[in-house]
Structure 1
Amino acid sequence: MTEYLIYFNQQWVGDHDEEWFRGRAPLAKAVVDEMRSAGVYVFAGGLVEDVDEAVTADATSGTVLFTDGPFAESKEHLGGLAVVEVPDLDAAKVWAGKLAVACGWPQEVREFGSHPDAG
């Protein structure tokens, strides 16, 4: 089994009113519940929209320096993610498609590389 990251950038969401978002939440929750039932769920969650609340840890100088805000200014930032453990990319794409329909915006899929704790 392989782990895949399914995610979206906040800018892909588009402009919608609060009622529209409230209508999407149960649909997204249903997909996450389906992932759990299927035994593929590892993790899922949305991030706080305000990137100014981010903190960066940078050790490139040899000493860890913490600064408020994102590491780099960017027009796009991560909005939310799900991690699934499935047999292959085709299976991950099925879950990404379900999330895209439920959320109403695009989802991207990427396979995780090797884990640091893998033997």
Structure 2
Amino acid sequence: MAKYLISFPSAAMVVADDCWDAVVRDSHAVIEEARAAGVYVFGGGIDEGVPPMLVSADGAVIGGGYPWAPTLNGGLTILELPSCDEAIAWAARIARACRCDQELRVFGFDPQS
């Protein structure tokens, strides 16, 4: 089985203030369903209150990430699934719950990690 990364950038979540409770409830329900199905690996979101740091091999630290790369923010979920079709189905469930499209990628899991 492959691991799939399902994610979205923060800007994709355009939700009315009075809908946030429903988004949280619905997204947590999908994650609970994934756990019950035994396909949930982990998930969460980037803490956007803490700026990224670029750390070099000698330990030098520069504030900010790669200047040429897009900003990394938003939420992500990794699921272990038997097929891309099942990954698409789970991504659609998460998209419905989060009220925004989800990006789907095969996650290059390193079994030595």
TM-score by length of 2: 0.85
Q: Distance in 1 between matches of 2:28 and 2:15?
A: 21
Is 1:58 equivalent to 2:49 in the alignment?
Answer: no
Is residue 49 from structure 1 mapped to residue 73 from structure 2 by the alignment? no
| 1:87 paired to 2:87 | no
Q: CA deviation at 1:37?
A: 0.4
Where do 4+ consecutive residues of structure 1 move more than 6 Å?
Answer: none
What amino acid is aligned across from residue 56 of structure 1 in structure 2?
A: M
Map Cα deviations across residues 60-101 of structure 1 (whole Å, 9 max, x no partner).
Answer: xx4122233333376643200000000111111111000000
Which amino acid in structure 2 is aligned with residue 43 of structure 1? F
One-letter code of the match for 1:102? A
Alpha-carbon distance between aligned partners in 2 of 1:101 and 1:87, rounded to the nearest angstrom: 22
Q: Does structure 2 conserve the Cα–Cα contact (< 8 Å) formed by 1:57 and 1:64?
A: no
In the alignment, residue 80 of structure 2 is paired with which amino acid?
E
Letter in 1 for 2:78: V
Show structure 1 runs of 5+ residues with no match.
none
> Following the alignment from structure 1 to structure 2, what is the Cα–Cα distance between the partners of residues 48 and 16?
21
TM-score normalised to structure 1 length = 0.82
Query: Aligned residue for 2:67?
Result: 72
Counterpart in 2 of 1:31? 30
